[in-house]
Chains A and B, each alone.
Chain A
Amino acid sequence: MVQCRSTRFDAPFAALSDATRRGVLEQLGRADASITDLAEKFHMTLTGMQKHVGVLEQAGLVTTEKVGRVRTCKLGLRRLEEEAAWIEGYRQLWDARFDELDKVVEELKRKEKVDGRKKRK
């Protein structure tokens, strides 16, 4: 049980083998931030943080935008796209289930009609 639970918890972060990058994602989940802010927050050099952000960016987990001299980082679309994809997959599961349920319901309806006729006789 404990094992099962930790696997489930780790899944979203299994993407990230590095604690700093996990921290950066969590931070960006709260608010957008510049690379300078992130470097300060994680006690790193600007170059070190740029590398981490680069890895996250290439993985589609973070997007960055340079305005003037400041590069702002935010969570990438991947997270949102994954959620939308999951919801569609879940919808398909229920849709398939409900198609089968429709058949059962139709059968019960027919049976009820037949039984109803029998009772009236």
Chain B
Amino acid sequence: MDARRESEPTPMTNHTTVERKSERELVIKRTFYAPARIVFEAWTKPELLKRWWVPKSAGLSLLSCEMDVRVGGRYRLEFGHEASKSMAFFGKYIEVTPHSRLVWTNEESDDGPVTTVTFEETSGKTLLVLHELYPSKGALDVAIAGMEDGMPESFAQLDELLVALSARH
């Protein structure tokens, strides 16, 4: 299968997968048509990361991006429409192995995961695996229930429905 794929031209679109691997883990995968050193560079230089971390479709902009990519070094990313209403994501790098592995903490909440990104190069392509390990099943459940923009809204609607229903009884 791989041999066949290599003879084909590089596809313009590529597939991202997300899987809940266990009660505490999410795994995201994608292949990039470039050597690991290039993909790694795009993850570790703030001026490059800035260009792709916040997709245009998210409707947000990255206000600041500070990254001290070395073991024990800290990072801080701020998003928002304006500085007064920004959201910050921060933590520190706990493992930095050039071109193959990055591990960092997410400290904006006590239930933040530890993120591990690995870059595996095979014949010029790089399989990127991003692994998020949450401190508990509850922490991942809560992230799932609360993180997606649509979710709090749907819960709020459900809440209203339940209040209405219980008033009727």
Contacts and interface: CB of A to CB of B under 8 A. Distances in A.
B159 interface: yes
Chain A's interface size range is 35 or more
Chain A interface main SS type: helix
B32 A17 contact: no
A86 B144 contact: yes
Given A11-B142, A58-B165, A112-B38, A98 B152 contact: no
Interface in B118-169: 128, 130, 141-142, 144-152, 154-156, 158-159, 161-163, 165-166, 169
B61 to A, nearest CB: 13
Given A11-B146, A86-B151, A87-B18, 14 more contacts: A7-B146, A8-B109, A8-B142, A14-B152, A14-B156, A55-B162, A55-B165, A90-B28, A90-B148, A95-B15, A97-B54, A98-B14, A98-B16, A98-B30
The 8 closest A-B pairs by CB, nearest first: A96-B55, A100-B52, A11-B146, A91-B18, A95-B16, A12-B145, A101-B52, A15-B158
